[in-house]
Structure 1
Amino acid sequence: MVGKLFVVAVGMFAFGYALVPIYKAVCEATGVNILALGDSDVPGAKATLPANTQVDASRTITVEFDANARGPWEFKPAQRSLQVHPGEMATVMYEFQNVQNRRMSAQAIPSYAPVQASTHFNKLECFCFKQHTLEPGEKKVWPVVFVIDPKLSKDVKTITLSYTFFEVGGKTPAAPLADATGQIGIGAGS
């Protein structure tokens, strides 16, 4: 009885070990799971990759970058503008430095001009997705990776991407308010 059980256990182990090559052979014969294969493993695959058909090379859009800081820190784009084709992935860097003598947390809020561009400006990576904490004097450089949807109206030739950096949970001065006489003061008690 022990001998028969040993033979069954060895047979099960051998079958389990053989499943991977059997699976690959069946998938190759039927064409199933061809997406998981590398480019060189696909039957009849060419060595060159096809061109990205989503890029509209007939159009060029100028993307202008703007940075505003609501607080005492330095915030600016590494470059002021970039020429891109709709559908083409592009990257721009933004520089931020905490010039205060205290730790601070902040977050950026994006805005777009013209407004219709906001639904066609797709950010794949952006520092604006989360809050950031910087130590006194700390400097960071963050990327914004984006693609402009080719469905954007053809009359849009320039898009402005503007970020405003706000301190989170800090002491940001109140915005100036006008009183009944039209005089501008700070807060309600001035």
Structure 2
Amino acid sequence: MNLAQGKRNGVRIIKMHLATMDKFIKPLISIACALFLAGCSSTEKIDYMVVSGSTDEGNDIFATLIEFDGRWSVPAGAMSCCRATAGAMVGVYEQKFPEKVAVEWLDKSENRIYYGEVAINEAGYKLANNLPAYSWVSTGEIEKNITPYLIIGMGETGEIKVWLTNARSERNRIGRVLHELGSGQAQWRENN
């Protein structure tokens, strides 16, 4: 075999190896991309959860907007109590666990309209599906049928908080957990 034939055979062998590798690499890249995209989709639909607004005790507000991902909202209204406790509640079925919430409220004591948007931690969906049981103080009975409560807090100086909990309040319960999923500061304008 002369030098030219050897080079041609070497090039053929390299091309065969590249063709074989190409058969394996393309599917591997496709699988890696699919896994990456699945990982980027941080939330999925949740069967049922309860959404509620809250404010600091004694802070009278009137919430006019609680909207999630610019797609769905819950009725708002008057609130005067209690921080991180589910007050007026709305059951939500078959919605994608939200990635952000937009709120607007009137603080009557300051005559200001607060408005803002907060990103919700992507871990919220997993936490909502794995909330622990709690027990009732009065009976000691363990509550295993856990409903996720998503509480949107609107503070008296414009703070916005998003919490996830396994019970609407601590009252008469042991083992309530409270995860903060997001926070931010609202802007404000005078209420004319």
Q: Same fold (TM over 0.5)?
A: no
So what's the TM-score if we normalise by structure 2? 0.31
So what's the TM-score if we normalise by structure 1? 0.31
- Structure number, greater radius of gyration: 1
